[in-house]
Each structure stands twice: as structure tokens, then as C-alpha cells.
Structure 1
């Protein structure tokens, strides 16, 4: 969880002076919670012997003729949801900016209030599509002749709260057609599949750099592509896994996690088809070894919860994944996908 502070308050019903508006953003997602990321720093020489430091790869000529050093650097964290104040000082209005490529549900509450009222009343939940919302609520003094002050906090969850996962949806194992991998941890896995977000998740033992393909068609809702470390310290690494989140047509969302740094093959907002290459497997975040974590989630009561699913094989038969099971691929007439047996 990350907290951002902004300041507003009132001296009376006519004049407003800067004071306190507290905005707290919460993302209930196992693998990312507005995490800090990593970018590359390149150090290289030009033809005159001068040294350069940049976040962009050097020209091919310098790369061949001079030694190029590359380092991973932490950069500012992403804040994809913001509560913004607009309108008149005496009666401010508030909008929410949603930088995800899919809907979110946001709950706004008073964390402090004196002689102030909201229209409509708070606390209240709002469903916000991508982009900037229309004004959602306004504030004003109850007694116009008295001073007023307030503090607001908000939390949010990804996804439409009314979405219902299509239990008949087809999922292909998320890897290349010519590969074969074993499920190391499945539903209710004791190592890390013990909470609601991951109860119905699958871990595939995949060497780093293995192709990861979309199990089902959808839109890339968000991705993390800049983390470069992993480990079994949950507090240190739980929010540091590279991942791709794909929003399906029924409102459910697939999570592909622990991916390699800088190897996403998609971008946020991109439409992908089942079987399409989206990334490469890695060992980033809370991980005991190279693997791919896959789950399907929905927003339920302002919380992300995983839902059961099955993988389809070449005969169209769907079966629930089980620990120890091997999955192998086959090629359709239209595209490469994978199946289990």
C-alpha cells in the first residue's frame, strides 16, 4: 500500500486555505501494489572518448567498438489511480482518474470531517472505467457561517464488481506449442496458494526465458516489466513480480506472473488472442525458483478472488489442473496453442 498526501481545507464558507486532504490508494493484488520498478542505465564511450550515461541503449557502433555497462535502477513507482479535486473552492467536486485499461471499483470515505457534508453522501463505492470519470461527489459546509475541514481516503480493486466468470470459457495452457511442462503447484497449494487471490492458481515449472502465450483472448489491462530480482522473502518480494494482466470479455482477469525483466511482448490496452506470445517466463517477485504463475480473478466485495478453471486439450476436453500433471502442446490450423493430457 502506498499513501499520497495532498492538502485542502476551509477557513469559512467563502475563503479556502491549503490544509489537509489525505488520499490513500490501495490495490488488492498479490503481485503488485503500485510498486517501485527498475530501469536500465547505460554507460558507454563515444568515438571521441567521452563517457555517456543514459536510460537509452547506445548506438550499435558504440556497442561494438566500446565496452558498454548496463545497470538496473529503481525508478518512481506507478500510481494508476488518483482522486482529483475540481470545481469551486466553496463547493469542490471530485473525479477519479483510472490509468488501467479496464474498470475499477473505488470506495471513498471521510477519514476526518468537521462541519462538512458530501453529495451524494459518503462512504460510497464507484465503478470507474478507464480514463477520467465525471464528477462523482461534491463537498460543502453544513453551516455556511462556520469553518469546515475534512480528510478523504480511498481504496480500490481492479475489475467490475458485477462481472461473473464464464465457467464454460476455454483456457489453453499458457506456453508454446512445442513445449511440455509440469504443474508444480495447483489449486490450494500449501506454499503460496492459500489466500483468496491465489487459491485457484497454477504454477508451471518453466525454465527462465520460456515463451508465455495467452491462455484466453482479451485486452492487456496492465503489465509490470521492470523488476529483475526474486526470492522467498515474502515481505521483500511479494509486490515485485513482473506480470501481465489480461481482461476477458466476461470481466474476469487472467494473471501471468514472475516474468522475465524487459521481455513483455504486449503493451497495456493491446488486444491479444488465445495462443499469442505475450512474455517470457522468469523468476521475479516472491518465488522459490523459475516458474510461471497463472490464475483467473474477479472483483468480489472490493477484493480480488481467484476462480476455478480448467485447461482444454486437443480433443476439447476440459480438466482441472493438478499438481504433478504434465501439459504438452499441439498445433491447430490457425495458431499454436497447448493442451494437457
Structure 2
């Protein structure tokens, strides 16, 4: 997983014409956006994202102005903020406007008055709700019939130094190992189209979901979310909206995305108000509780 925090990105569009700004899947912070080809040439098009969009910013003429609506295609909630580059237009509520959008739903963010032609907006979104309060639960070791080999643990200096991954764990495991749900939850988001690992020298936007390869995001009943990343090609066997039980096979490990070797990247995250933060967690291993500590890449597994 990348060390640096994901960069904020723009979903740009002129307010005087209806259209939709498509945002990349919000798996880890803000993401690039782009306008769909508009019927009018005055709307500026931006480079399209490389993943199928899961959140849209829709603009429609209404009541002598423009209505801005967030459309969430994920199975779980997202928090979005609508901002203007430069002087903000007159809007109700005033920009920046921040709302939570439930899964598989749409919600009006703001009504913008006429006279805002040429204004550019950016839609920033984070998965989950900001009020999540993590329960003290014990997670299940998320691999079946595989010895515990921790390549990188809490605070690992290779790629676990940022807020979103500080309490992540990389389990070194052969590709094709069954991945288990570590806790009951709702499948909020999946990506299964990656076919190979990325070249570490390639220029990849940190907001691009390709860095995780194939992955599954599971929403827990306390609002926290578990991310299972770098799954193999066709290695996702659950669909968004499905409820999974602890111990259920949800996929198969792999080496897709920005991955140096076959492994499973596992992290529990929560939305802390328009930002993702990884959370420490307890986990039961095959022979008792696991302790992760600050295990660096290539280190021997931590002992209970």
C-alpha cells in the first residue's frame, strides 16, 4: 500500500449546464473525477478515471438555478463535501457543503443560484460515516489453512506509515489462499478487474484504486470497515450488498496492484470526518492471539 496520503482530486464542471461528474471509487480518501461528455461544448471535460465510478456529482437546472446531487452507487454510506475552486457561488447551503449519503442512494447537496457560469466544483468523498465508534472485538485470522507469516505489521516502515495504513498488516501467503471474513459485515465495495501487479516504477495516481489491485471492503455494524487487498484475478467471490459471516470465504489472495510479492493486506479503517484512519485491532490466530507490533517488511512473524 502506498505511504503517502492520497491527493485530493477535482471533478470539474460548469454550473450553467446540466451534467454529471464521475468520481473514482472512494476506497481510500479523495479520488480523481471527470465530467461525462456533455451535450453542450461549454462544459469542460477532464481525463476520465481508470476505474468504474461509484459516486457521481449530478447537476441539473432547477428553480432558476442548478441543483447539485450526489449519487452513491456503493452498498454502504459515504461522506461527501462539495467545494468550489475560487470564489464560491451563492448556494443553499453555502459551499463548502458536507453531507452523508447512504448506500445505493442519491441526495441533494446544494442549490446554486444563477450567475455561476464558469464556476468549477470538486467533489471530495470518504467511505463510511464520521460517527463510527469501534467496538472492542476480536477479529479472526483472515486466511484458511495458512501459517501466520507477517511481512509487515503496525507501523511498518515500508508502506504502513500513513494514517490510513498505520495499523495495517501484510500477511505473506501464496496466491490462491482462501481469504476469510474476519468479522461479520456488509460487503460495501469490491474490485475484481485487476489481472496483474503494477510496475513499481510506473506513474500511478495514488488515488487510483489500481494500487490495491482486487479488493473487498466490508462494513461492520459499528461503522468501521475492513479492507482486504491485493486479491488474485477473479479472486472476489462476494458481491456488494451481500452480508458475510465471520469465517466465510470471500475471496482468494493474490499479487495484484502495487504489490511486491503475494500477500494479503488487511486493515480496519474508520471515517474520522472526511479522512480515513486505520484502527488497532485484536486478532485470534490459529494458535492464540496475534501481536503485530512494528514488524518491518521481510521480518519473521510476531509471536503471541
Q: State the TM bucket, normalised to the shorter chain.
A: 0.7 to 0.9
Distance 1:158 1:82, change over 3 A: same
More strand by share: 1
Structure 2 runs not aligned, ≥5 long: 1-7, 34-48
1:211-242 residue CA offsets vs partner (Å, 9 max, x unmatched): 11111110111011111121433744863211
- Residues 25 and 53, structure 2, Cα contact 8 Å, conserved in 1: no
Q: Distance in 1 between matches of 2:181 and 2:289?
A: 17
Higher relative contact order (CA 8 A, sep 6+): 2
- Residues 31 and 124, structure 2, Cα contact 8 Å, conserved in 1: no
Distance 1:79 1:27, change over 3 A: closer
Q: How far is 1:151 from its partner?
A: 2.6
Q: How far is 1:122 from its partner?
A: 1.1
1:51-110 residue CA offsets vs partner (Å, 9 max, x unmatched): xxxxxxxxxxxxxxxxxxxxxxxx962111111123526122222100111111101112
The counterpart of 1:106, out of the listed 72, 80, 85, is 80
Q: How far is 1:169 from its partner?
A: 1.2
Aligned pair 1:321/2:292, yes or no?
A: yes
Q: How far is 1:30 from its partner?
A: 4.8
Aligned pair 1:209/2:176, yes or no?
A: yes
Q: How far is 1:304 from its partner?
A: 1.0
Structure 1 runs not aligned, ≥5 long: 10-17, 36-74, 142-146, 327-339
1:56 corresponding residue in structure 2: none
1:174 corresponding residue in structure 2: 142
Distance 1:242 1:31, change over 3 A: farther
1:82 corresponding residue in structure 2: 56
1:7-54 residue CA offsets vs partner (Å, 9 max, x unmatched): 442xxxxxxxx49x895847664599579xxxxxxxxxxxxxxxxxxx
The counterpart of 2:191, out of the listed 224, 233, 239, is 224
CA RMSD across the alignment = 3.0
Q: Distance in 1 between matches of 2:203 and 2:161?
A: 16
Q: Distance in 1 between matches of 2:155 and 2:185?
A: 26
Aligned pair 1:152/2:121, yes or no?
A: yes
Query: Segments of 4+ in structure 1 off by > 6 A?
Result: none
Matches for 1:215-254 after TM superposition, within 5 Å = 215-230=182-197, 231-233=199-201, 235-236=203-204, 239-240=209-210, 241-254=213-226
Larger radius of gyration: 1
Aligned pair 1:193/2:138, yes or no?
A: no
Q: Give secondary structure in 1 for the equivalent of 2:151.
A: strand
Q: How far is 1:161 from its partner?
A: 0.6
Aligned pair 1:257/2:224, yes or no?
A: no
1:335 corresponding residue in structure 2: none
1:135-159 residue CA offsets vs partner (Å, 9 max, x unmatched): 3321114xxxxx5423322111111
Q: Distance in 1 between matches of 2:29 and 2:113?
A: 39
Distance 1:234 1:169, change over 3 A: farther
Q: Distance in 2 between matches of 1:124 and 1:84?
A: 15
Aligned pair 1:291/2:263, yes or no?
A: yes
1:281-336 residue CA offsets vs partner (Å, 9 max, x unmatched): 10111111111110000111311110001112578x6443244337xxxxxxxxxx
- Residues 81 and 98, structure 1, Cα contact 8 Å, conserved in 2: yes
1:138 corresponding residue in structure 2: 111
